[in-house]
Chains A and B, each alone.
Chain A
Amino acid sequence: MRASFYAALAFCGRMLSPIILVPAVLNGLLTGAVYALVALGLTLIYGVLHIINFAHGALFSAALFAAFFAYRLLGLDPYIAAILLTPVFFLLGYGLQRFVIGPAAHGEDRNILLVTLGLAVVIENTLLYAFRADTRTVNLDYAFNVIDIGVAFLSVPRVIAFGVALVVALVLWLILTLTDTGKAMRAVAKEKLGAELVGIDVVHIYAVTFGLGTACLAIAACLLLPTYYVNPHVGNAFVLVAFTIVVLGGMGSVTGSLLGGMFVGVVESLSGLYLGESLGQIGIFVMFILVLLFRPSGLFGERA
């Protein structure tokens, strides 16, 4: 008994060494960037429409399938496919909000919940029905390339994903701050009635926001595909983490999502390191609870 205790202590001591710690933190940052991209869509949708989008996970699965088939059928490398899929998914998201969610929900929050829930079931099972449950993967030559920075091997696709996530966040931020649509989105987010009164087409803005959120998923899917896999249930694994990031970063905050995503990635990585992958998952949620109890508007959000 005592021997195993000392062994455990020695092991912990070993884990604090930079050989493990630095790569773990870097891993967390890289993973966090993809989480951030998924969360970006969610935070936009929450920030403007004030709805929790239950269909986000299923839409992510759909995006992964789209990226997969773009490769399989059209021979498009995922990074190129992103250029094609982003507008496609934007339109998909726009359509869903404008013609399904909006009309069905009659503006009631709880109904939006149910509608997005129903959508999630429909999308996931349509994928199951159409494509069966087999796990699909793409085996790209560069998927196993690594950049050796001495302290760690960084996987090339994940570094690319990190970079693109930063770019997307920047682009979104620019859209929100500089364009008219962006300003309209922010107006609707802050004060829907006022925005309507000054002539903003709220229905259209809602749809645009949902579309942007879904487009983010398409990009995230293309970035993830080289190192992950596709099946109808795959998106569900990311949703909870995405929700956590949205709240942590402050609902509606693009910067919050990006930084929150990386923060969550690092927390997940370190708690997985110290507590094991199973118990380590608790790290994100405990942190989430603590932040909410002491700073409900999130790390970067405005006071509720």
Chain B
Amino acid sequence: MKGITVPWILTIVAALATLPLLTASNVVLNFLIVTLLIALVAQGWNVLGGYGGQYSFGHAAFFGTGAYVTAIMQMRYGVNAWAAFAVGIGGGALVGAIIGALTFRSGLRGSYFALVTLAFAEVLRILASVAPLTGAGVGILIALDLRPQAFQFQSRAPFYWIILALVGVSLVVVRMIEQSRFGAWLVAVRENEDAAKALGVNPTRVKFAAMTVSAAITAAGGAFYAQYYLFIDSGIAYGSWISVEALLAPIVGGVGTVLGPLLGALVVKALGELTKLVTGDTPGLDLVVYGGVLILIVAFAPNGITGLLTNLRGHFMRLRARALGRSDG
């Protein structure tokens, strides 16, 4: 499968960009903003986990760093919100580099790698819950200032376009990785690290680079979260909820594909809304249905949504070929 090309990505993004012009519903816009935010965070995870095969359980470490750096820069040092956003991404990438350097050098793989990332995220969460810099238990509230200069907007639409742009960039970046030699190395490491090494690929360096890119993308999501909700604390920034969201969407959507995280985020979030609608107000029931459907999705789409679509396309092609073949005889 060739994969989705950049012109197609731009078309999809452009189509999605028209949405605020078609609907005035803030319910829908908010839903999409949250979905795109998860898609961004998930895309970060996908670079390392989907393409690199290194499943991380601790992507909260990057999300939270992006969020906190942005918030601290603004509230403690009076830095402009947009500059703080950029620094937040940088901070996340730095944390990714550090964790990558430590873990990959020790040769940690598979479940060990996954659990050590979880441990790093937890360490950061605990530190953030006691350190005065991050506001300790009280958290950080970014001052309300509804001006574009402060990266806050009266209407939801600008937030939507910004997160859409970020997602678009991440899609293009991942597509470019997919097409590049680096991408080939990454996939080689995923498929068989020792064989890749034998062929001259440096797995440690490749994984390290992937981790840094992955962290930067996820950190962008974290920084955006801080600007959108204006309040973060250690549980929100570094909590396991975001680590789970980060891996749930790509696996459901299809790991190692460009559109997988986006599709997965859409499906997962839409499922959440649907179950709430269908089950009414009884606490817990909607989530029971949600969990059940999740299991069913995995059972029937083991390669994610993109896998399902590929299969369907294959079926369709075969049917078409058969139909065409029959027309001769």
Q: Do chains A and B touch in the complex (CB under 8 A)?
A: yes
The total of Cβ contacts below 8 Å across the A-B interface reads 131
For residue B195, CB closer than 8 A to chain A, the reply is no
A16 interfacial contact with B, CB 8 Å: no
A295→B48 CA distance, assembly (Å): 23
Beta-carbon contacts under 8 Å, A282-304 to B? 282, 285-286, 288-289, 292-294, 296, 304
Give the size of the chain A interface in residues (CB under 8 angstroms).
49
User: What sequence of 0s and 1s flags, for each residue 34-56 of chain A, a beta carbon within 8 Å of any chain B beta carbon?
Assistant: 00000000000010001010000
B285 within 8 A of A: yes
Q: Quick check: is A247 within 8 A (CB to CB) of the other chain?
A: yes
- Chain A residues 88 to 122 lying within 8 A of chain B, measured CB to CB, are 100, 103-106, 108, 110-111, 113-115, 117-122
Any chain A CB within 8 A of the CB of B73? no
Of all chain A residues, the one with the shortest Cβ separation from B295 is A118
B311, CB-defined interface residue at 8 Å: no
Alpha-carbon gap, A46 to B120, bound state (A): 21
Q: Are B298 and A111 in contact (CB under 8 A)?
A: yes
Stretch from B9-17, B18-26, B126-134, B205-213 forming part of the interface with A: B126-134
Q: Say whether chain B's binding surface is mostly helix, strand, loop, or mixed.
A: helix
- Report whether A46 and B130 are in contact in the complex, using a CB–CB cutoff of 8 Å: no
Does the CB pair B112–A292 fall under 8 Å? yes
Closest residue of B by beta carbon distance from A246: B115
User: Which chain A residues lie closer than 8 Å to B247 at the CB level?
Assistant: 113
Closest to A126 in B: B288
How many angstroms between the C-alpha atoms of A243 and B283 in the bound complex?
29
Query: Which residue of B123, B282, B283, B298 is within 8 Å of A114 (Cβ)?
Result: B298
B308 within 8 Å of A (CB atoms):
no
Q: Within the complex, which residue of B103, B116, B120, B294 is in contact with A121, where a contact is CB–CB below 8 Å?
A: B294
Chain B interface residue count, Cβ-Cβ cutoff 8 angstroms: 42
Does B4 reach chain A (CB closer than 8 Å)? no
Q: In the complex the two chains form, what is the Cα distance from A27 to B323 in whole Å?
A: 74
From A103, A125, A278, give the contact of B129 (CB < 8 A): A278
Interface residue B292 (Cβ < 8 Å from any Cβ of A): yes
Once A128-B284, A279-B130 are accepted as A-B contacts, the answer to whether A292 and B106 lie under 8 Å apart by CB is yes
In the complex, chain B residues whose CB is within 8 Å of the CB of A104: 295-296, 298-299
Given A114-B251, A117-B248, A118-B298; A292-B126 close (CB under 8 Å): no
Cβ of A133 under 8 Å from chain B? yes
Which of chain B's residues has its CB closest to A104's CB?
Answer: B299
**6 A-B residue contacts at CB 8 Å?**
A120-B291, A121-B290, A251-B111, A292-B103, A292-B116, A304-B109
A121-B287, A133-B283, A285-B126 known, 16 other contacts, Cβ within 8 Å: A52-B114, A106-B302, A108-B302, A113-B247, A118-B292, A118-B295, A119-B291, A120-B291, A122-B291, A278-B126, A281-B122, A281-B126, A282-B123, A286-B123, A293-B116, A296-B106
Point out residues on B near A: beta carbons under 8 Å: 55, 102-103, 106-109, 111-112, 114-116, 118-120, 122-123, 126-127, 129-130, 244, 247-248, 251-252, 255, 282-285, 287-288, 290-292, 294-296, 298-299, 302
